[in-house]
Structure 1
């Protein structure tokens, strides 16, 4: 790595595993200090802190529920731990595979609270802090190809991700005069803890899904890390409102 994020400080949510962890470790390797959040798996999150220590970077963590956290307090805690935040990675995720006709109000509300409400207000707080400092910043929203490719049993999740993708574009336009860039990464079929019931427990289903991917494999969390580095770095200083689709070519067909 070549230190493209040297001197930057990032707040990365949902970073104890999967895509969030891959991004956190990639940022650390590129020279960033990180403040990460996790919902319950403190042991796994602390492995990220240990990785940072070995790389000579600062890192800190807090456990939080995206549905109930005080966002202002979260940013205050991050600032106290590593300094003012330059990069925000909105990666909290909740998914339910309940059929549309059976989806409960509670499932719907939790999906929207985690996947849309939290990124909305985290981005708002981040932008206010950047403006107060008189400096720009980068927001990276982790969406999904589910934002524009419909499948059954994912109605609330897909609606929330579609809304998140539009939130990116809206914020990109409104925050551009302040130097705050807002972009999206939309992963395709990716093996994470959230879908282990498929790739680990139902390999036949997983193999069938992979047949439709031109690059002939599912993604892994680290496949998203390079795009996140780009969006966090000054190399993307003229990018905002973009959606980087990383899906092995699936959306091309």
Structure 2
């Protein structure tokens, strides 16, 4: 069974790889033999991760890319493919949130969140797919959605809209590209403890939110390891247009 989860022949392009879930995905997939492209705006953090992976015997290349800058997307992919070869798997992970009540969200806030989370993911996917179609190689795209694409909470309304859009975009692109042997699926994490939100979980609001989760705990980055290996490998070869939720039962509440 381990063979169907093998990613050792894959060249995996990961956006938002400088920290959080993107960094964890890169570590897990490279440890399982994949060549990984580390794409993000923060090149210092990317270089550190690239060095870490190479020191462990892995294959990695860091490329600067801002998903809100449409011109940077093909440039970054060009650099990546020159270094490692044709991208076979894309993990669309880059994203942001602006925490304000809806009446306080500005047009700039909306544009920033929708631009990074939805527009950026959509056009990164279409650029990668265009190359896969031209090469007739097939391929695999994994979009990182969120449980807030299905449920909602206060203070992050543009974020929830963007992630609901990712779920629908996953279905739409999966339908269009199935004939080209390109799978498009999504991963919808629940509340995960990362560098960016770690302090919050020790506050009274954070502890209250954790109690709402049926498993009574916040997820760890490693709780997504199995799901990302499934979606990035041939283990998901008969899946397309699907969204896998990993949330400790949060959406059951």
TM tier, smaller: over 0.9
Residue 69 of structure 1 deviates from its aligned partner by: 4.7
- For the 8 Å contact 2:40–2:46, the answer to whether it is kept is yes
How many angstroms apart in 2 are the aligned matches of 1:140 and 1:175? 13
Q: Which shifted more, 105-114 or 219-228? A: 219-228
- For the 8 Å contact 1:35–1:81, the answer to whether it is kept is no
TM-score (norm 2): 0.94
Structure 1 residue ranges, 4+ long, deviating more than 6 angstroms after superposition? none
How many angstroms apart in 2 are the aligned matches of 1:194 and 1:52? 22
Equivalent position of 1:213 in the other structure: 213
Equivalent position of 2:152 in the other structure: 150
TM-score (norm 1): 0.94
1:97 to 96, 99, 116: 99
Equivalent position of 2:20 in the other structure: 18
Matched, 1:225 2:225: yes
SS in 2 for 1:216: coil
SS in 1 for 2:78: helix
Equivalent position of 2:55 in the other structure: 54
- Runs of 5+ in structure 2 lacking a partner? none
- For the 8 Å contact 1:19–1:222, the answer to whether it is kept is no
Q: Which shifted more, 99-108 or 49-58? A: 49-58
How many angstroms apart in 1 are the aligned matches of 2:236 and 2:52? 26
- Runs of 5+ in structure 1 lacking a partner? none
Counting only pairs closer than 5 Å after superposition, residues 69-84 of structure 1 correspond to structure 2 as 69-70=70-71, 71-84=73-86
Aligned length: 250
2:177 to 166, 175, 178: 175
Q: CA RMSD in A?
A: 1.6
- For the 8 Å contact 2:67–2:124, the answer to whether it is kept is no
Residue 47 of structure 1 deviates from its aligned partner by: 3.0
Q: CA offsets per residue over residues 203-246 of structure 1, 9 Å max, x none? A: 22221111111222101222112211111111110011111100
Counting only pairs closer than 5 Å after superposition, residues 57-206 of structure 1 correspond to structure 2 as 57-70=58-71, 71-199=73-201, 202-206=202-206
How many angstroms apart in 1 are the aligned matches of 2:192 and 2:118? 21
